[in-house]
Structure 1
Amino acid sequence: MELQLDLCEDRLTRECAWTDRRSMGDEMRLGRTLAVLVAATLGALAGPVPAQAATVNTTYNVWSWNVAGWKMHRGSTGNGLIPALSNSIRNRSAHFAALNELCWSQYKAVQANLRNSGWPQDVENFSRFEPHNDTACGGEPFGVAIFSKAPLGAANRYALAADGTTETRKLLCAPLSARPHLRFCTTHITPSNEVVNGEKINETQLGQVLTRLEAFHAAGDTVIVGGDFNAQPHYGRMNPWYSTSLTVPNNSGNTGFYRELDDTDSRCVGYGETTVYDGNTEGLCGQGKKIDMIFVRQNKIVGAYDGDSLAISTSCGGACSDHRILIGTVTVSITQ
């Protein structure tokens, strides 16, 4: 909501008649009087100086995972995936969790597991789901989800440009009920490089998500977004995201405002740690590629931040995903 203030100016007309004969003292007193009068008048015309909005600094632990819920699990809720991811959320003291490639039944199972363990503060209001396809999980919805330890407000659900498949990619966000200017989001960008309407579709989707985040910022919000971006940090299509302050051999040419929570990793500064399966060699610094990320606008970050990716659990009758869990800790400034 935008607040508009109409400032009314009083137009003051003062006519003064002075005699030609004055003493020097009279003229000096007159000068001082006029100076005071002008200052007072200008102050009245300018009006009161608006108070700066109060902010609070708070630290959050963020957790994000592409679970390959249909690709590797065929929608199963009984093969070890649900306790593996739910235990990780609890063990990592996550305040926010984002899940990509999740089937509806898996979403409900995670919801029940976290609820029954007492993880959320409000057991009836701590998660949101958004389908990318209504039937892709053996006839049930397939999409993305967010979970929050604190109660959530109304969700924002945005469809991204079509990539020519049966999947409609989305951006899903929700604010905290008690802190409406803090918003947590997740997205899963298409891996397609196809040119649609004159631009590569993955670039289009990245631009659409970024535009939404910047609109939230313009409205006074602090946004934390995690998910599968299907792009490595040093790719040109990520330059509009990463802050201009990040200029290192592994990641340069950036024109944006955001930092990724693992971009200070000493093993690969500016890039971070791989987020995919063992054996992949497509990334920088002699490791697998990094395509999962957690971003925060740099001007909202207070102090140091960090991120890490976790080895893929094998408690699902084998690997639980072809992606690693990505975690991060960040202190952010939030408008109250």
Structure 2
Amino acid sequence: MRAPLRAFLTTLFSVCLLLASGFTTARADEVTPTNAPKPRFITYNVCGASKTCDSHNDKAKWLTDVTGAIDHWEADVVMLQEVCYEQWKLLRTHLAGRAGTKYDAAWGAALPSIGNCARWDPDPHDSIAPDLRFGLAILAKGGPETIDLTTRTVDFLPEPVEATGTATENRILLCVKSTVTGRTVRTCNTHIDWHAGNKTAQIAKVAEITRGFAEAGEPIVLGGDFNQKPQHTDMNPLYSHGTGSTGVFQEVDENDKDEFRGSDCPQTQDRCRSGENTASTECSPHTTENAKIDYIFLSSSWFTTVRGDAAACSGVADHHLLRGAAAWES
């Protein structure tokens, strides 16, 4: 990070680190830092390069809000989608170098370059061109080597439906092992395409890969923007419960009875393929339907007492940030 920006942000954070008011507002199920179990997780589509979020072009506010959300939730693992490289580097540098709680980080590129990532240039007036890569990021609470980068894998997901455009995002699954509350966990992060045929194929591939890790005995955290509703058959390979389910995962917001509706989710059940909306007209005027499309899945054999909560809109992205928590099974 260049010196003038570093000095400015250091001053800013010493004064107002926890000003992320939108993120700290609990919604219907009232999951809060005082009543949630540990470990804790966050997934967030941060809309780093989309023209939908062109108005959210305040780097200092974005950094303050996202860091405040991470600290407020005392997150052990953070998964971010639609991240510009300079945007990720800004967050990584701050969280790795600050006093107090630090975070280690891993990155996976879904595009080698996208023009709109130029808005994250740390100093647009110097002669240094910004890095325009675009992709996914994982953060884990702890200092250097909390994440074992030798375990980092990037799998390219199938795309049977050909997408069009000059900067079509490659859909990937980024996975790393890290230490989470003293245990080794494999965290995976993805962003599924919105085209119907690609959604089906990509979710199935993500389920296949992560099921393999789970069946090898590893605790798995799987997060991301899946661009699909919980009850859709595309999600069957992930969920371990519900009609048609064949997966090995539970989802953090599956026991919020305020979201149980219809014959598929009767109030008599303890859990359901449901949850609070993470895409809404409140966050984005381009959203046509309110729906849950962001998820934090946890391997059923390792975690219990799951809790989830979608934060209020923050004004820095077009998705709701999703918080999750669970206790270790034993």
Give TM-score, length-normalised by structure 1: 0.69
Give per-residue Cα distances to partners, 1:192-231, cap 9 Å, x unaligned: 11xxxxxx22111111111111111122211001110110
1:117: Cα distance to partner?
Answer: 3.0
What is the rounded CA distance, in whole Å, between the counterparts of 1:324 and 1:60 in structure 2?
21
Partner of residue 164, structure 1: 162
SS at match of 2:138: strand
Question: Counterpart amino acid of 1:203?
Answer: T
Matched, 1:130 2:133: no
SS at match of 2:316: coil
2:283/2:318 contact within 8 Å kept: no
1:98: Cα distance to partner?
Answer: 0.7
Question: Counterpart amino acid of 2:173?
Answer: L
Matched, 1:289 2:291: yes
1:76/1:106 contact within 8 Å kept: no
| Correspondent of 1:68 among 47, 55, 58 | 47
| Correspondent of 1:153 among 148, 155, 164 | 148
Partner of residue 65, structure 2: 84
Inter-CA distance 236–107: structure 2 relative to 1 (3 Å threshold): same
SS at match of 2:96: helix
1:306: Cα distance to partner?
Answer: 0.4
| Equivalences for residues 13-32 of structure 1 within 5 A | none
Question: Counterpart amino acid of 1:218?
Answer: E
1:75: Cα distance to partner?
Answer: 9.3
Inter-CA distance 76–140: structure 2 relative to 1 (3 Å threshold): farther
How many aligned positions are there?
Answer: 251
CA RMSD of aligned residues (A): 2.5
1:240/1:255 contact within 8 Å kept: yes
1:177: Cα distance to partner?
Answer: 5.2
Question: Counterpart amino acid of 2:212?
Answer: A
Question: Counterpart amino acid of 1:90?
Answer: D
Question: Counterpart amino acid of 1:153?
Answer: D
What is the rounded CA distance, in whole Å, between the counterparts of 1:130 and 1:309 in structure 2?
25
What is the rounded CA distance, in whole Å, between the counterparts of 2:179 and 2:302 in structure 1?
19
Unaligned runs of 5+ in 1: 1-57, 194-199, 282-286, 314-318
What is the rounded CA distance, in whole Å, between the counterparts of 1:119 and 1:278 in structure 2?
37
What is the rounded CA distance, in whole Å, between the counterparts of 2:70 and 2:283 in structure 1?
25
What is the rounded CA distance, in whole Å, between the counterparts of 1:333 and 1:118 in structure 2?
32
1:307/1:327 contact within 8 Å kept: yes
Give per-residue Cα distances to partners, 1:95-125, cap 9 Å, x unaligned: 000110010110011112212333555x6xx
Inter-CA distance 332–164: structure 2 relative to 1 (3 Å threshold): farther
What is the rounded CA distance, in whole Å, between the counterparts of 1:218 and 1:93 in structure 2?
29
Question: Counterpart amino acid of 1:140?
Answer: L
1:279: Cα distance to partner?
Answer: 4.3
1:87: Cα distance to partner?
Answer: 1.2
Matched, 1:208 2:199: no
Partner of residue 235, structure 2: 238
Give TM-score, length-normalised by structure 2: 0.70
Give per-residue Cα distances to partners, 1:120-166, cap 9 Å, x unaligned: 55x6xx10111111111247001110000031112121111135342
1:184: Cα distance to partner?
Answer: 1.2
1:100/1:187 contact within 8 Å kept: yes
SS at match of 2:244: coil
1:59: Cα distance to partner?
Answer: 3.0
| Correspondent of 2:134 among 139, 142, 153 | 142
What is the rounded CA distance, in whole Å, between the counterparts of 2:281 and 2:56 in structure 1?
23
What is the rounded CA distance, in whole Å, between the counterparts of 1:238 and 1:203 in structure 2?
8
Partner of residue 186, structure 2: 183
SS at match of 2:59: coil
Partner of residue 254, structure 1: 245
Give per-residue Cα distances to partners, 1:217-252, cap 9 Å, x unaligned: 1222110011101100011111121113xx4xxxx3
What is the rounded CA distance, in whole Å, between the counterparts of 1:265 and 1:258 in structure 2?
17
| Correspondent of 2:326 among 322, 330, 334 | 330
What is the rounded CA distance, in whole Å, between the counterparts of 1:77 and 1:221 in structure 2?
39
1:288: Cα distance to partner?
Answer: 2.1
1:78: Cα distance to partner?
Answer: 2.2
Rg larger in 1 or in 2? Answer: 1
Partner of residue 45, structure 1: none
What is the rounded CA distance, in whole Å, between the counterparts of 1:113 and 1:104 in structure 2?
14
Matched, 1:273 2:276: yes
What is the rounded CA distance, in whole Å, between the counterparts of 1:254 and 1:219 in structure 2?
20
1:222/1:332 contact within 8 Å kept: no
1:276/1:322 contact within 8 Å kept: yes
Inter-CA distance 96–160: structure 2 relative to 1 (3 Å threshold): same
What is the rounded CA distance, in whole Å, between the counterparts of 1:327 and 1:128 in structure 2?
20
Higher RCO structure, 1 or 2 (CA under 8 Å, sep 6+): 2
Unaligned runs of 5+ in 2: 1-36, 119-130, 261-271
